[in-house]
Homo-oligomer: A and B are copies of this chain.
Amino acid sequence: MAFTDIATRTYDHGFRLDPIVRSLLDTDFYKLLMLQMIRHLYPDVQATFTLINRTKTVRLADTIDEGELRAQLDHARTVRFAKKELIWLAGNSFAGQERMFAPDFLAWLADFRLPDYDLRRVGGQFELQFAGPWTHTTMWEIPALTIVNELRSRAAMRDMGRFTLDILYARAKARLWDKVERLRALPDLILSDFGTRRRHGFLWQRWCVEAVKEGLGDRFIGTSNVLLAMDNDLEAIGTNAHELPMVIAALANDDAELRAAPYRVLDEWRRHYGGNLLIALPDAFGTAAFLADAPDWVADWTGFRPDSAPPIAAGDEIIRWWQAHGRDPAGKLLIFSDGMDVGSIEATYRHFDGRVRTSFGWGTNLTNDFRGCAPDGTTGLEPISLVAKVTSANGRPAVKLSDNPAKATGDPAEIARYLRVFGEAGRQASAVTV
């Protein structure tokens, strides 16, 4: 005898859309922290975010139906913060601190909705832009990425039979667990999930997070995904991102203001937040330039998140800088989050073990590693390097140099100007795979 819930089955007959974004908390925690500061300090700045597919060989518009993409983007615009979500943001402590979010900010969030978008098909790619107040466009970054990535996964799996899908997920689960067992060999590992933006899909990320929690216990300290943090009583992890120095730099009136922009951002950040949130991103315009010009108080911060240089070299450089500033690296923290996987986590962990505290933000290779898992040889499930970057602020072009020229974004003339201001020291090209 088989019992079927007929009402559910009948509802499913009329299935129109399986929404990818079902909660505005399904975003990275840093977006909320940055948003609170942006709203206080830059409420009138207009910022445009643009989807950038660095994996040019993958023609997204040939894979993803434009109508489906619009339907998902439109649906995301109908989603509001639920009451229980705002209550949780108000009542939960973040990074050890109560009342991280001010009541006026939470009241403002209650009315928040994602602003409009501009979508065009150009050749085999989508041109997807979000223009408007920085306080609103910033919140599109993660939903835009999760929508496009999950639609791409769905397209790749559309023709798979039920059995093929079963093997696909069995293999992916077995693979992730093998990774977890390797990571268990690192006794003092500190790891968190940074895999929201390039995940295979929401349900898969949820499974991965639960798997890593089950397998690593206390060594898994949380997730950057606010919704998963809430639902699983995990710590929400994150601080700030490149968009802060990129916008402030874009707003600079001259080269001197441009050169000062990265430190101005940190100064504003430390006034807004303190404690465990004092993690600096050094690479927006090149780590070497950042460290060379940094005021001494930056060395008092908890640590750095090198995000585009090779991890061991970047960490060693920062350790030397701390030592040159008379600080003991043993009390400092390095967070590695640039395309990490088990091999690079192991190597980086072992290199720095006992010399500096390390923490790993495991992203795409945690939540989207289906390479070789499809039993029918289907391609299209390998992750691509998709980002949604701020491209202009108050009409001025925004630029990111990073330590890896392959990750630079922005207008070529502006990139040239930034390179003159910040210098080219320490920049090293390497392939960007995820």
Contact = CB atoms under 8 A, between A and B. Distances in A.
A174 B171 contact: yes
B167 A174 contact: yes
A174 B170 contact: yes
Given A3-B5, A5-B5, A170-B170, A177 B375 contact: yes
Q: How many copies does the complex hold?
A: 2
B173 A177 contact: no
A388 to B, nearest CB: 29
A305 B336 CA distance: 60
Interface in A155-171: 161, 163-164, 166-167, 169-171
Nearest to A173: B170
A57 interface: no
A268 interface: no
Among A8, A210, A211, A375, chain B packs the most CB atoms within 10 A around the CB of A375
A170 B174 CA distance: 6
A210 B173 contact: no
A98 interface: no
Contacts of A164: 214
A204 to B, nearest CB: 13
A403 to B, nearest CB: 37
A7 interface: yes
A214 B163 contact: yes
A173 B161 CA distance: 16
Task: Report, nearest first, the 10 A-B pairs whose CB atoms are least far apart.
Answer: A170-B173, A5-B5, A174-B174, A170-B170, A163-B214, A171-B174, A167-B177, A170-B174, A3-B8, A177-B375
Contacts of A173: 166-167, 170-171, 174
A210 B166 CA distance: 11
A176 to B, nearest CB: 9
A170 B163 contact: no
A161 B166 CA distance: 21
Contacts of A171: 170, 173-174, 177
Interface of chain A: mostly helix, strand, loop or mixed: helix
A381 to B, nearest CB: 16
Q: What's the interface size class on A, roughly? A: 20 to 34
Interface string A317-340: 000000000000000000000000
A75 to B, nearest CB: 16
14 contacts: A3-B5, A3-B8, A5-B8, A163-B210, A166-B173, A167-B173, A167-B177, A167-B211, A170-B170, A170-B171, A170-B177, A173-B174, A181-B375, A215-B375
Interface in A252-278: none
A161 B214 CA distance: 10
A351 to B, nearest CB: 29
Nearest to A175: B174
A5 B3 CA distance: 9
Nearest to A163: B214
Contacts of A181: 375
A171 B211 CA distance: 14
A251 to B, nearest CB: 44
A5 B163 CA distance: 26
Interface string A371-384: 00001000000000
A232 to B, nearest CB: 12
A169 B171 CA distance: 10
A215 B171 CA distance: 15
Interface string A1-42: 001010110000000000000000000000000000000000
Nearest to A172: B170
Contacts of A211: 163, 167
Nearest to A178: B171
